[in-house]
Amino acid sequence: MNLKDKYKDYFDGKTYNITTFGCQMNEHDSERISYILESLGYKKIQDRNKADFILFNTCLVRENAELKLYGQVSSLKKLKKENPDKIIAVSGCMMQTSTARQVIIDKHKEVDIIFGTKNINSLADLIFRYLETNERVIDISTDNVKDDFVYYNTPNDFQAYVNIMTGCDNFCSYCIVPESRGREESRRPSSILDEVENLVSRGYKEVTLLGQNVNSYGNRADFDMTFPALLEKISHIEGLKRLRFTTSHPKDLSDELIDVIKNNDNICNYFHLPLQSGSSKVLKDMNRKYDQEKYLERALKLREEIPSIAISTDIIVGYPTETEEDFQETLKVCEKVKYDSAYTFKFSPRPKTRAAKLKTIDDAIVQDRFDRLLDTIYPIFNKKNEEYIGRTVEVLLESESKNNPQILTGRTDTFKLVHVKADKKLIGQFVKVKITDNTSFTISGDLI
């Protein structure tokens, strides 16, 4: 008897809970994990403490996520002692790196299963191994991405993520991704197209393509396909209403990509273009491979060619070599590009990166710059959203508002978060909304 048959009845009535830290790629990994667990017989529940299988899917990009994980895992020590049959697992980027993994191994004996970003497909076998031995199971692989069609659960039946590549070759001085995700590996176009076609045939309306740097898709591959060419092919799939992608590196943003977005109506008019710093000196220190002039030329070209486009960004405040003059250059870029939204961070040294060896700036100085950055960009966000008042926009309704079940939330193709009073039966549908109000972060209006 194989292990799957042996434990067939074990999973009856068993439940699971997944906590995900980090980016959309981590969220998509959790969707794959969820599919595997439910294939075994587990049922998803919201209360972590009541779950039979508890999993943390980790992120290593920011120190805050790392510290949060350690705290949440520690909080389960008593629960595990009282209920030794519970299985606690930790996966993801933190486990792919030896330093963070060793912390879990040495200090968190309550964790039963440890696996990396490239071992998700082996999860069922890891669980069987643990059930057989009742001993901790650790499985970390460095295998490259496979083209096999991968099954996964999605949070709803109208939106889905699709990985087109994994890893990163940019080696920014502050970033741990090449260590945790490995070098760039692009999936074959045929595999990606098959996956998107399958999703559309099942009724999915919006697909988001994922990669650490989608613009460099195909660079190290044994096939001839650029990201703009792939994007155009996918956009022509009949029935696909909306197509998004993230993340783009400014150094690889081509005119060809801008033209493809401009000329295909179902590719959303939204572009995430990480700045990180507006100072050419700091950008060089970060190994970003572009300067302020190049970045502004690309961002403003997007605005010129696609006037309706919304642009978001990432900004790091307090990189160790940043001076007040450098910080002022960041503010200058923000005022020129006029971002629609931004993810802002205070510099966080990550192990095994070059920037981790540099002397950090005093916390009070970093906090002051961070506050001034927000004081600069929030009014810009507000003004950009204010421009929507009086306009009628198409919104894909996604969920009920957390604060008011009579209010639904959704997104425009420009990724604006919209609040509208509507029946929850409309979730998953495209509706027309006339915008009547705004904040720096949302727009709201009436159903047409």
The reply to whether 59 sits in an annotated binding site is: yes
Which tens digits make up the pLDDT trace of 81-106? 999 999 999 999 889 887 788 989 99
Look at the pTM and tell me if it is higher than 0.85.
yes
Range scoring the smallest mean pLDDT among 60-74, 140-154, 221-235, 381-395 = 140-154
Residues 6+ apart with CB under 8 A from 355: 173, 174, 286, 319, 320, 347, 349
Q: Is residue 300 predicted with pLDDT exceeding 70?
A: yes
Specify the pLDDT at position 69: 87
Q: What integer best gives the mean pLDDT of the chain? A: 93
Specify the pLDDT at position 336: 98
Which tens digits make up the pLDDT trace of 322-367? 999 999 999 999 999 999 999 999 999 988 899 999 999 999 999 9
Q: Which domains does the chain have, with CATH numbers?
A: 3-139 (3.40.50.12160), 159-387 (3.80.30.20), 391-447 (2.40.50.140)
Q: Is residue 311 predicted with pLDDT exceeding 70?
A: yes
Specify the pLDDT at position 339: 98
Mean pLDDT of 296-308: 98
The reply to whether 334 sits in an annotated binding site is: no
Which tens digits make up the pLDDT trace of 130-145? 999 999 999 987 665 5
Range scoring the smallest mean pLDDT among 147-151, 181-185, 248-252, 377-381 = 147-151
The reply to whether 168 sits in an annotated binding site is: yes
